[in-house]
Amino acid sequence: MLEIRDLHVKVEGEEREILKGLSLKIPKGEVHAIMGPNGSGKSTLAYVLVGRDGYEVTKGDILWNGESVLEMEPEERAAKGIFLAFQYPIEIPGVAGLTFMRSALNAVRKTRGEAELTTPEFMKLIKEKAHKLNIDMEMLKRPVNVGFSGGEKKRSEILQMEVLEPSLCVMDETDSGLDIDALRIVAEGVNAMRSKDRAMLVITHYQRLLNHIVPDRVHVLADGRIRKSGGANLALELEKSGYAEFQEEAA
């Protein structure tokens, strides 16, 4: 279970708080969605979960399986099964996608006490998963994300997620940049990963993705806090009413 308790976060060196007492619980086996207006702190939450530098937690805690992650290095969190599909995936010139994924997979397997995959085993795994996500193997021989279209980057993030098989999947605006076919393919991939041993958090600005990945719970993040929570229907309501209600309150 992911448990976020009264989380307060600001950017290092700045006064203004971005998250102002956010609390949230996602039990394993469930998919939750966080929706909210631009600038409400959704990506900040995602980054703090995976331990990106530059943010300061001034109060509160994040527990994954009962253990606080705040003092853990990013790679330790990854080893504990935490994964973020980035809103803006980063380009790594000079490092081929296959090399990168193999390094990551072997590192993660090592911490799980599993043997490294042989080259044929690894290639078989990648080919299978890439095929399902409609990703060309040639693309994976190129440097990670370099020269990829927006949609290709998002699919490559989901491929990494499928290969690494994390137990906490956080997806930040994975739908942006995807056309309707790609959206369907990605959603199928995500749905296939739903499992009783896995918690998932889908962050999105629009309801569109949630037609395909139907969440167990939907939370509205505005002004640094969860302002409202409900079932999948809440997303549909928001689609009609927009975020005005929450933004007015915030103002």
Partner 1 sequence: MEGRLPIGVGSEALNDLSRSAESRAPARQDVALGRRAMNVAVLKTKVEQALTENFAAVEDQFPGGAEARKVRDAAIGRFGALGLPNRRVEAWKYTDLRNALKEVLPLSTGDKAPVTGSDVSAALGPLAGIDAQQVVFVNGAYCEDLSTIGSGSAVDVRSLAEALSLPEATALLSAEGRDDDPVLALNAAYATDGAVVHIADEAKLDKPLLLLFVRAGTEPCFTVARNVVSIGKGADVTLIEAFVTLPGASQGGQENAATKISVGDGASVAHVKCTIDALNGTHLANWLVDLGAHATYNGFQFTSGCKLLRNQIGVAFKGENAQIDISGTFLVRGSQHVDTTLVVDHAVPHGTSRELFKGVLEDQGRGVFQGKVIVQPGAQKTDGMQMVRVLMLSPDAEFDSKPELEIYADDVVCGHGSTSAELDEDLLFYCRSRGIPKAQARALLIESFIGEAIEKVERDDVREALAELARQWLAECGSTKRT
Ligand X SMILES: Nc1ncnc2c1ncn2[C@@H]1O[C@H](COP(=O)(O)OP(=O)(O)O)[C@@H](O)[C@H]1O
The single residue among 103, 119, 195, 229 that binds partner 1, judged by CB under 8 A, is 103
Region binding ligand X by CB under 6 A among candidate stretches 31-39, 89-97, 109-117, 229-237: 31-39
Q: Does 204 bind ligand X (CB under 6 A)?
A: no
DSSP code for 87:
S
Q: Does residue 145 sit in helix, strand or coil?
A: coil
DSSP code for 163:
H
Q: Nearest 5°: CA angle at 38, between 18 and 176?
A: 125
- Letters for 44-83 (x = contact with ligand X by CB under 6 A, - = none) are x---------x-----------------------------
The single residue among 24, 45, 86, 162 that binds partner 1, judged by CB under 8 A, is 86
Distance CA 40, CA 52 (A): 18
Region binding ligand X by CB under 6 A among candidate stretches 36-44, 141-149, 159-167, 190-198: 36-44
Distance CA 133, CA 114 (A): 26
The single residue among 18, 144, 200, 238 that binds ligand X, judged by CB under 6 A, is 18
- Letters for 27-46 (x = contact with Mg ion by CB under 5 A, - = none) are ---------------xx---
Q: Does 174 bind Mg ion (CB under 5 A)?
A: no
Least distance from ligand X to the Cβ atom of residue 39, Å: 4
143 binds, among partner 1, Mg ion, ligand X, none (CB under 5 to 8 A by kind): partner 1
Q: Name the burial class of residue 104, with classes exposed (0-12), middle (13-18) and buried (19+) by CB atoms within 10 angstroms of its CB.
A: middle
245 CB-near residues (< 8 Å, 6+ apart): none
Tell me which residues touch partner 1 (CB under 8 A).
50-53, 73-75, 77-79, 83-84, 86, 89-90, 92-95, 99-100, 103-104, 107-108, 111, 143, 160, 164
